[in-house]
Structure 1
Amino acid sequence: MARTKKVKSAAKFRASAGLSVRRKWLEIDIPQRQKYVCKRCGKRSVKRVGSGIWECRSCGYKFAGGCYLPSTVATKIIEKEKIESEKTVVEQ
């Protein structure tokens, strides 16, 4: 199979889609297919199972996340507030 140079997995769209469309596709596709760190076991083995469903291949931990990334902006904000509230409870 021929190698793709700049467009990587977006080569399936060929020239008919245009370069800007293929670049936008890569912004979504590359992070979606990466492996991420598991919250439970700490290994870099979390992969996307379906739309918004992520699973650790090592420990089997399955969780809901963003459609293309395991954690969304809202999730990060909630986790940050949770940590801050736990600190205030411990200090009191």
Structure 2
Amino acid sequence: MRKKVGNTVKRFGARYGATLRKRLLEIEQQQKATYECPKCGVVAVKRKFIGVWSCGKCGYTFAGGAYTPYVSKK
């Protein structure tokens, strides 16, 4: 039987506090998600490393935010 893929911050157990673990979970989910490519429009953009994003379909590589490809000003 396959092991369930669960919450990635469970590796910390009871350490660091609930608020920080929730914040980290939110960041990790944004970081691991796929996004729409600005060039071809396909949902295939994934994070290569900090601030660099690449489309798996057309190969377009561009600089973006550390956790999301598109940085919004608040």
TM-score by structure 2 length?
0.85
Structure holding more strand per residue: 2
Unaligned runs of 5+ in 2: none
Which one has the largest radius of gyration?
A: 1
Distance 2:71 2:5 in 1: 33
Q: Higher helix share goes to which structure? A: 1
In the alignment, does 2:56 pair up with 1:57?
yes
List structure 1 runs of 4+ shifted beyond 3 angstroms: 1-4
Q: How many residues align?
A: 71
Gapped regions of structure 1 (runs ≥ 5): 75-92
Q: Which residue of 1 aligns with 2:19?
A: 20
Identity of paired residues, percent?
A: 38
1:40-79 equivalent positions in 2, closer than 5 A: 40-74=39-73
What is the TM-score normalised by the length of structure 1?
Answer: 0.70
